[in-house]
Amino acid sequence: MTIRKDYNMKAFQLKIVIKNSKPPIWRRVIVPAGITFSQLSMILNEVMGWSGYHSFEVEFYHLELRIIEDADEFMDIGYGPYDYLEASTTYIREYLEENDWFTYTYDLGDDWQHRVTVEKIIDDYSEEYPRVIKYKGNCPPEDCGGIYGYYDYMDIIKDENHPEYEERLAWLEMQGYPCEYDMEAVNHRLQERYFYRWGKGEKRMQSELYEDIYNGRLGLCATKKDKNKNSQIIKSGKHVMEESFQKMADMLKYSVFQPEEERTTLEAVFSDFEKEDLKEIARDKGLTGISGLNKNKLIERIVAYMLKPEVMEQYFLCLGDAEIEEFEKAARADGLYESRDCNNLMSLYEANYVGMVTDGRVVVPKKVAEIYRSFKDAGFEDERKKRSYLLYCLRASGILHGIVPEEVLMQLVNRNPDVRMTVDEVREKIEKIPPEFSESVIVNHNVYQCEFYPDDRGLLQVQGNKEYYIPSYEEIICLGTKGSFPVCKQARELKKYLTGKMNVFVDEIDFVIGIIQRKICSGCDMQEVFDTLEEFGMVLENDRQLEGLVKRIHDLWNHTRMLTNRGFTPNELRKQSTGIPAPHGQSGSGEIIPFSQAKSRKVYPNDLCPCGSGKKYKNCCKNKN
């Protein structure tokens, strides 16, 4: 291999640490630029000691971005706000130059998470291959259940009297453990297998690249033109919504000198939209024959449809009391209205019936207010109370259950003594919910949250035969209106600890704790909780703080309702199966793992069964498989 002196080779000095390893297991490596994230993953695997057999994921937490393979086919599970990029066609230089760290996860089942810190940018690296310059610790064996499973193994093989001592020791020895890390040998393999072959770059996925290496076609195809000009980000639902909000806000930067009529027409709301955006809105509303229309004609068609009383009424029937009250205040303002709580107008904003300027003020088009007054009567109010409460039930069930039989949904509906509906009425009302508000679909007498239809993504398998938790009326209202759980004793204790012992002064601390509970509910792991706290500037100063914080997070965890438990808390499931409350950190559903990983997670006979029964796997579901 010869060094091309015409290329000023940029490289990155990275420190890779296995998260939650104690003492830390880490490597320091220099990686030249010019490669994709799929290629970088191969290097990181070689450096750490992983085989590369499992899939991987790169996450830039602060960018709310994940980089994976087959990104266009990937659908996020849970409520994460992440955008996605294709790892096989996205080059590393841009992201490693502009970010201090990222998370690399190897084996999405065992969930080996690594914090990768960009320690240094080297402008003139003299080698054409990666190189490890320092390390600490041996690589754990694969398929042992992640870092916590690994330490369970270590505890067991230290005790020769443990009933699983021989089984676990034999398995470890079969995996070649312990295997001392040989930096010289690793660097030899990096130079031999992962040297750079300069050309047009690479667009293949990791499996194809590994196949080349196994067949003796060595080296990585790299490029000097490693810029992500054509990378297509797959936007999360959250970011699509935010961009839509921003477009609307930019469009509605009205001058106070504009005529009042211009500021309060529905046509003005759409005037600055791009033509393609208008076509998408038209399609969402079911309009046909729009492909040949120019922009003005598109706006005319959309506005004419939206202002039909029978159409508009379907949207307003979905609004709750606070939303209707805030809309009526804005309508009476007859111009720009400064709302104290814009969240109560977001549903109508998303449906384009109100506009919002960048300073948070709201405008209700005059025609919208006029038509609303024409159909608002006692019959409308009676139907609105039913429809809006049904939406609350659907949202609450979506958070707690994901998929639920109609008869179970009816138990939620019947929690409200002032609302009485039959199953047929519920089915009819769900079908009439406008697409902008629709979060559920009924198929074969089951109500699916839209993200779990038609693919349940393994949810039903993990939920098993658990019963459905039926929330109280107060819980339904809280989940339906705010998307959050009622404040519990454990949440108050966590807040008290953060503000007292850790001196955290964050205005949004209640909001942060709400985010943590929703993450726990949807199947996160403990590291995501700490990442969330870190994102909001909550930094641990010593081990005592860590111990106190972990205890309170475990308390909150055991008392948080979970999707995988069909709404029951781990503590409730534990009591149901044994009559004993769950100890800190122990879930009634076994180890706390995202349900998307359940199929690939290895379960040993004496582990707690993943179905949540509280029994050992060998005494529960092992013989059912």
Lowest mean pLDDT among 52-61, 450-459, 599-608: 599-608
Give the tens place of pLDDT for each residue, 501-552.
776 666 678 888 988 999 999 888 888 888 888 877 777 777 788 888 899 9
Whether the per-residue pLDDT at 124 is higher than 90: the answer is no
User: Looking at the DSSP assignment, which residues form a beta bridge with residue 58?
Assistant: 67, 104
Beta-carbon contacts of 429 under 8 Å, excluding residues fewer than 6 positions away, are: 386, 387, 390, 421
Task: Give the residue with greater pLDDT, 134 vs 269.
Answer: 134
pLDDT score at 480 = 93
Size of the chain, expressed as the number of residues it contains: 625
Of 289, 439, 301, 312, which is closest to residue 364 (Cα–Cα)? Answer: 312
> Average pLDDT in the 12-28 region?
91
> Of 27-41, 162-176, 362-376, 589-603, which gets the smallest average pLDDT?
589-603
Dihedrals phi, psi of 56, to nearest 5 degrees = -145, 170
Confirm if 197 and 221 have CB atoms less than 8 A apart: yes
- Threshold 0.75, pTM exceeds: no
Residue pair 559/488 in contact (Cβ under 8 Å)? The answer is yes
Winning range, highest mean pLDDT, from 24-33, 79-88, 256-265:
24-33
Sheet architecture: strand order including 65-68: 83-86, 65-68, 56-60, 101-106, 112-122, 11-18, 26-32, 131-136
pLDDT at 371: 95
Mean pLDDT of 4-16: 74
Q: How far apart are CA 171 and CA 388, in angstroms?
A: 56
DSSP state of 7: S
pLDDT band at 175 (very low <50, low <70, confident <90, very high): confident
CA dist., res. 218 & res. 189, Å (int) = 10
Q: How much is the pLDDT for 582?
A: 47
Residue 253 contacts residue 269 (beta carbons within 8 Å)? no
Helices 570-578, 543-558: crossing angle, 10 deg rounding: 60
Six-digit token pair at 598?
Answer: 């359940």
Give the three-class secondary structure for 19.
coil
pLDDT in tens, 375-413: 999 899 999 999 999 999 999 999 999 999 999 999 999
Provide Rg for the chain, Cα atoms: 28
- Using alpha carbons, select from 79, 70, 73, 151 the residue that is nearest to residue 110: 151
Cβ neighbours of residue 328 closer than 8 Å, sequence gap 6 or more: none
Identify the pLDDT of residue 621.
53
Mark residue 452 as left, alpha or beta (left: phi above 0; alpha: psi -120 to 50; beta: remaining).
Answer: alpha
The model's pLDDT over 176-227, given as tens digits with 9 standing for 90+, comes to 777 889 999 999 999 999 999 888 888 899 989 999 988 889 999 999 888 8
Q: What is the structure's pLDDT at 243?
A: 55
| pLDDT over threshold 60, residue 601 | no
Digit-coded pLDDT (tens) for 543-596: 788 888 899 999 999 999 999 999 999 999 887 766 655 444 333 333 333 433
Check residue 259 and give its pLDDT. 38
Which of 244-248, 330-334, 364-368, 402-406 has the highest mean predicted lDDT (pLDDT)? 402-406
Nearest C-alpha neighbor of 466 from the set 342, 340, 591, 621: 621
| CA end-to-end span of the chain | 53
Across residues 141-167, what is the average pLDDT?
A: 88
Question: Can you give the pLDDT at residue 504?
Answer: 66
pLDDT of residue 533: 84
Q: Looking at residue 455, what is its pLDDT? A: 85
Query: What's the pLDDT score for residue 430?
Result: 92
Alpha-carbon separation of residue 604 from 460, 525, 593, 607, 620 (angstroms): 21, 20, 15, 5, 12
Name the range with the highest mean pLDDT among 73-77, 158-162, 620-624: 158-162
Mean of the per-residue pLDDT values of the chain: 82
Contact between 85 and 70 under an 8 Å Cβ cutoff? The reply is no
Helix and strand tally (H, E) in the chain?
Answer: 25, 16
Task: Using alpha carbons, select from 15, 96, 104 the residue that is nearest to residue 59.
Answer: 104
Q: 590 with 610: CB under 8 angstroms? A: yes
Query: Is residue 605's pLDDT more than 60?
Result: no
- Paired sense of beta strands 446-449 and 403-405, if any: antiparallel
**Confidence at residue 285, expressed as pLDDT on a 0 to 100 scale:** 84
Give how far the C-alpha of residue 467 lies from the chain's centroid of Cα atoms, to the nearest Å.
26
Q: Domains in the chain, please, with CATH?
A: 11-139+179-222 (3.10.290.30), 237-376 (no CATH), 385-482 (no CATH), 489-624 (no CATH)
Task: Give mean pLDDT, residues 407-432.
Answer: 93
Sheet of strand 361-363: strand arrangement: 336-338, 361-363, 355-356
Task: Say how far apart CA 251 and CA 261 lie, in whole Å.
Answer: 16
Cα gap 417→414, rounded to integer Å = 7
* pLDDT higher than 80, residue 325: yes
Cα 95 from Cα 89, distance rounded (Å): 13
Query: Kind of pairing, strands 355-356 and 361-363?
Result: antiparallel
Alpha carbon distances (Å) from 409 to 387, 413, 471, 565? 14, 6, 11, 16
425: its two tokens: 């009425």
Which pair of tokens denotes residue 31? 């990686």
Q: Which range, 76-85, 103-112, 587-596, has the best average confidence (pLDDT)?
A: 103-112
* Res 537: pLDDT: 72
Q: Is residue 38 classed as helix, strand or coil in its secondary structure?
A: helix
